[in-house]
Amino acid sequence: MTLWIAIGATAVGCYLVKFLGLSAPAGVLERPLVKRLAALLPVALLAALTAQHTFSDGQHLMLDAKAAGVAAAAIARLLRAPFLLIVAVAVAVTAGVRALGG
22-52 residue pLDDT tens: 888 888 888 999 889 889 999 999 999 988 8
Give the whole-angstrom CA distance, residue 5 versus residue 101: 37
Give the whole-angstrom CA distance, residue 56 versus residue 4: 19
43-99 residue pLDDT tens: 999 999 988 888 888 788 888 899 999 999 999 999 999 999 999 999 999 999 999
Give the whole-angstrom CA distance, residue 38 versus residue 40: 6
Give the whole-angstrom CA distance, residue 55 versus residue 73: 15
pLDDT for 102: 46
85, 76 contact by CB (below 8 A):
yes
What is this structure's pTM?
0.58
Strand residues in the chain grouped as ranges (E): 56-57, 60-61
